[in-house]
Amino acid sequence: MEQIYPLTEQRIQAYAGMNVCAVLKTGFRQFGLLERCSGGAVYMGEAASTTNYAKKQQIPSSKISAASDKNVAKIELSDIAFLLLLV
């Protein structure tokens, strides 16, 4: 794994089409194919899956939402603690 830093749209967009793991500030993890980064959010493709390592009550349901395409997860940049490239 390689950390993607800084968490800016321009930097993250360079990794579009690659597998990544977004670790949210709550401890929630989202794995998937990075579709794009725009409008202050990261969009992860249909290969995305989730793993919860934090207590359930700490994870607001609004942190990861479906984008217009139901197979794409939208995560706000402000909610991400770490973004990791899976190599």
Q: 2-48: per-residue pLDDT in tens?
A: 999 999 999 999 999 999 999 999 999 999 999 999 999 999 986 54
Please spell the DSSP secondary structure of 7-48, one letter per residue.
Answer: --HHHHHTTTTSEEEEEETTSEEEEEEEEEEETTEEEE-TT-
Q: Where are the domains of the chain?
A: 2-85
Query: Does the predicted TM-score (pTM) go above 0.85?
Result: no
8 Å CB contact between 63 and 34: no
In degrees, rounded to 5, the angle at the alpha carbon of residue 2 between the alpha carbons of residues 56 and 15 is 90
41-70 pLDDT, tens digit each? 999 986 545 565 555 545 444 456 666 666
Q: How far apart are the C-alpha atoms of 72 and 34, rounded to whole Å?
A: 9
What is the architecture, at CATH level 2, of domain 2-85?
Roll (2.30)
Residue 52 in tokens: 């919860």
